[in-house]
Structure 1
Amino acid sequence: MNPLLRAEQAVLGAVLLDPGQLARLGWLAPEHFSRPVHRALFAAMRTLHTNAHPAVSTKAKAVVPLSWVTDTVAEASRHVRGLTAPYAHVLIAACPRSGNAPLYGRMVLEGAIHRTVTEHAVRLHQAARADALRGDVEGALHQADVLAGVLGDLARRWGTEPRPLAPAAPPATAAAEPPLAGTDEVAEDERFLLAVLTERSGAMNEVVGWLRPDDFADPAHAHLYQCLGALHHRGEPIDRMTLLWEAQRRGLLADGTLTAEQLAGICDGVGAGTAEWLGEQVIRSSLTRTAAESARAIRALAENEALAPGQLISHALHALGPLDNVRARWQSANGIPAPTPAPAPTTGDSPPARVHAALARSTPRPPARPPQRSGALPSAPAARTSSRTPI
């Protein structure tokens, strides 16, 4: 059986056996359960607890009345179909020890983190592909912001800080996916832009501040833009001859990256538009392409069940880094001011008791003191106690 399903059953069975365990599960929400019937049952338990059900009173702690089970099933049945009373006994039997409810809840939260990150990565990928079809970027940027906010909230629920961290090895993404829509138009915009930058004096000044070689979908076009950037950086004249010479010096003709015919075709093309406008089209397609790549990497991370939630959140934030970089340059190209960073959350957003319950760690035992040799003076008491809080 799926371990996550067993964990959900165990935490629900623990609360059915001991309603007081709900006080230790304040950080767990109904939406963290994967099955609708489990979400309805946990929500029903919280509702009965809020309404001061007799089972949660101090006088009823010794013996849990049967009404706690029957009323929970009745309340949950109002919101979900197919729930039967015998299933409550299945949940009770699935709980090894009711006192371990926070630990079982932590397992449920861990599964919810992986599932939630996967869902939002899929949404980001879909938004990026839709934007590529429409020639827009707003959908991908919105979903990227939503994903970043979700990762920050999940980090605080788990009891960690949302810090980007590169994985030891890049995630193994699926096989090559179909290209984004408008691939031919993107290649055409790139050729037009290179033609304008080659033939129009001073055109590089319009894009050099925010357009990068990585923004080009075609590797050959990226190499040519690097050549143009090198000529511009050295203050040398830019024309088709100097561009051809720079490409030859970089070995692009010798290794087959470019051919003289390809370069001639680009230089002989007619640049339809200004360098700034064409550059904006190129970086726009770069943004949607990068969003799709980030989404695929995050989904691959989330589908790795062996990855701890804290690592998953940190690696996912790191995977959003390239998109943030392209987004900043996109805003610079369009004259959009950079957003003001949100203030860091205070410690009140994640109370220590809630974090400790979510982590469900055991309190470490104090280290054993080494035996004193006979005749040795007793060691002086520590100047201060450790400031570390066990988690």
Structure 2
Amino acid sequence: MSPLLEAEQAVLGAVLLEPGQLQQLGWLAPEHFHRPVHRALFAARRELHADRHPASAAESAVPMSWVTDAVEEAGQHVRGLTASYAHGLISACPRPGHAPVYGRMVLEGAIHRSVTAHAIRLHQAARADALQGEVEGALRGADVLRDVLNDLARRWGTEPRPVAPGSPPARSPAAPPPGWSNVDEEEQILLGVLAERPRSMDEVVGWLRPSDFADPARGEVYRCLGALHHRGEPIDRITLLWEAQRRGLLASGTLSPGQIAAICDGVGPGSAEWLGEQVMRSSVTRTAATSARSVRALAEDEALAPGRLINHALHALGPLDEVRSRWQAANGRPAPTPPAPSPNEPPPAQVHAALARSAPRPCSPPSSSPGSAPSPAAAVRPPSRGHG
């Protein structure tokens, strides 16, 4: 049995033994439980407690109706629930006074599951947008994931802020979906237009970056074009080949003279701005998918504490924010204003309990240990926007 499942059972057993423990678990919601039967039981006990069930005022022995009524109420939402299962939860609770700590474990598991689920949705939205040539679904998915992270941070009692992990999360490389390869032709034509009509660089140089190209080799060609444009030097096949050689791209095998010749000699009609927007659109969806995979890998690391998970996940969304701002600049849209903090955030007392820092009750031994404070965030250097 997993520690998370044992924690869920211990919480339910604690409120069966001592209904007053529900007063210390106001920050814990039924949806935080993984098993449907546990959600139904916790919701039933909260409802009975709110309706002033006689067990709520019991000072000594808890009436048997507290168990039977909870089973009856929960049985309306799940099947197969019996009173014997509820009594088994009582034996699963070592100490009812530790209910806030058990609840914190349940909340920790819920945070990991919620972040995983929304990261999967973001990745699915990015793939769908890539196939349809859109970006709005991926951007909405990123907004939802960010809102979820901020809300979870407030519930956990920490300040949401991007913090880079000590080491990148391990994950298996994923092949890009078929839709992302459709941008290859646009990238090739765009580079040819820029090499043939160097003045077109002014249309894209303000927001298009080498990292936006799906093919790293074509991104390096664009970097060479940008360097020549920045220095005010002429651009043609020879100067572009010379710039590539000066940067060691020919010696390393990143580029070949044949690739540069194919770009410069295969140019056709096209608008640099329109082609650049197609490259940017693909960059948005690719970056969204990459961020989603990083967030999911973080969320699936059970050893990662919720505060660190939230802050590392926010950091993983940083590259998408940077690409998004340039995409909006390319389309003449202002960058979105960061949302104001929600006025419905949990009160400090609930956060205090969530961190298991509440004072022990008189009927319980003072054995609960204080939670650890979140570590200060490290400064994150913004990515460079230059071509050099």
**TM-score normalised over the length of structure 2:** 0.90
Q: Is it true that 1:42 corresponds to 2:38 in the alignment? A: no
Q: Which amino acid aligns with 2:19?
A: P
Give the superposition deviation at 1:65. Answer: 0.6
What corresponds to 1:180 in structure 2? 177
Map of 1:155 onto structure 2: 153
Q: Indicate the residue corresponding to 1:375 in structure 2.
A: none
Q: How does 1:245-264 map to 2 (within 5 A)?
A: 245-264=242-261
Partner of residue 342, structure 1? 339
Q: What residue is the counterpart of 1:105 in the other structure? A: 103
Cα offsets for 1:302-329 (capped at 9, x unmatched) = 1111111100000000000000000000
**1:119 aligns with one of 117, 121, 124:** 117
Pair 14,120 (structure 1): closer, same or farther in 2 beyond 3 Å: same
Per-residue deviation, 1:72: 0.3
Selected match of 1:319 from 310, 316, 319: 316
Counterpart of 1:13? 13
Q: Distance in 2 between matches of 1:333 and 1:30?
A: 45
What CA distance in whole angstroms lies between the structure 1 residues aligned with 2:19 and 2:144? 35
Q: Which residue of 2 is the match for residue 210 of structure 1?
A: 207
The Cα of 1:248 is off from its aligned counterpart by 1.8
Match of 1:244 in 2: 241
Change (3 A) 1:390 1:38: closer
On the 8 A contact 1:227/1:247 being kept in 2, the answer is yes
Q: For the residues of structure 2 that align with 1:271 and 1:61, how far apart are their CA atoms?
A: 86
Q: Distance in 1 between matches of 2:202 and 2:260?
A: 22
CA distance in 1, matches of 2:355, 2:17: 22
User: Pick from 277, 294, 298: which aligns with 1:297?
Assistant: 294
- Out of 108, 130, 138, the position equivalent to 1:132 is 130
Alpha-carbon separation, structure 2, partners of 1:153 and 1:302: 16
Per the TM alignment, residue 345 of structure 1 is displaced from its structure 2 partner at its CA by 4.8
1:354 equivalent to 2:350? Answer yes
SS class of match (1:123)? helix
**2:56 alignment partner AA:** V
Q: Answer yes or no: is the 8 Å Cα contact 2:352–2:358 preserved in 1.
A: no
User: Which of residues 65, 70, 73 is equivalent to 1:72?
Assistant: 70
Find out whether 1:61 has 2:94 as its counterpart: no
In the other structure, the counterpart of 2:189 is: 192
> CA shift at 1:362, angstroms?
6.8
Report the Cα distance in structure 1 between the residues aligned to 2:180 and 2:267, rounded to whole angstroms: 19
CA distance in 2, matches of 1:271, 1:106: 62
Q: In the TM superposition, what is the alpha-carbon distance from 1:96 to its structure 2 partner?
A: 0.7
Aligned-pair distance for 1:184? 3.5
Find the partner of 2:86 among 83, 88, 99: 88
Contact 1:121 1:147 in 2 (8 A): yes
State the structure with more CA Rg: 1
**Mapped partners of 1:39, 1:92: distance in 2:** 16
Unmatched 5+ residue regions in structure 1?
A: 365-388
Q: Is the 8 A contact 2:186 2:275 kept in 1?
A: yes
Letter in 1 for 2:105: M
Distance in 2, Cα, partners of 1:201 & 1:214: 20
1:372 corresponds in structure 2 to none
8 Å contact kept, 2:131–2:180? no
Instruction: Give the distance between the partners of 2:271 and 2:261, measured in 1 at CA.
Output: 20
Partner Cα distance (1:272, 1:218) in 2: 22
- Give the TM-score normalised by the residue count of structure 1: 0.90
Q: Which amino acid aligns with 1:40?
A: A
Q: Report the Cα distance in structure 1 between the residues aligned to 2:309 and 2:282, rounded to whole angstroms.
A: 28
Deviation at 1:338, TM superposition (A): 1.3
- Asked if structure 2 preserves the Cα contact closer than 8 Å seen for 1:363 and 1:390, the reply is no
User: Matched residues in 2 for 1:272 and 1:184: separation?
Assistant: 21
Q: Identity across aligned pairs (percent)?
A: 72
* Partner SS, residue 198 of structure 2: coil
Aligned partner of 1:279 in structure 2 is 276
Post-superposition Cα deviations, 1:108-141, rounded to whole Å, max 9, x if no partner, equal 0011111111111111111111111111111111
The one-letter code sitting in structure 2 at the alignment partner of 1:54 is P
Give how far 1:61 is off. 2.4
Match of 2:31 in 1: 31
Quote how far apart the aligned CAs of 1:83 are. 0.8
Alpha-carbon deviation of 1:361?
3.1
**Structure 1: distance between partners of 2:310 and 2:103:** 19
Cα displacement (A) at 1:200: 1.1
Distance 1:108 1:390 in 2: 17
* Inter-CA distance 356–54: structure 2 relative to 1 (3 Å threshold): same
**Aligned partners of 2:210 and 2:359: how far apart in 1?**
53
Specify the SS of the correspondent of 1:202: helix
* SS of corresponding position for 2:46: helix
CA RMSD in angstroms, aligned pairs only: 1.7
The residue identity in structure 1 corresponding to 2:126 is: A
Per the TM alignment, residue 354 of structure 1 is displaced from its structure 2 partner at its CA by 0.6
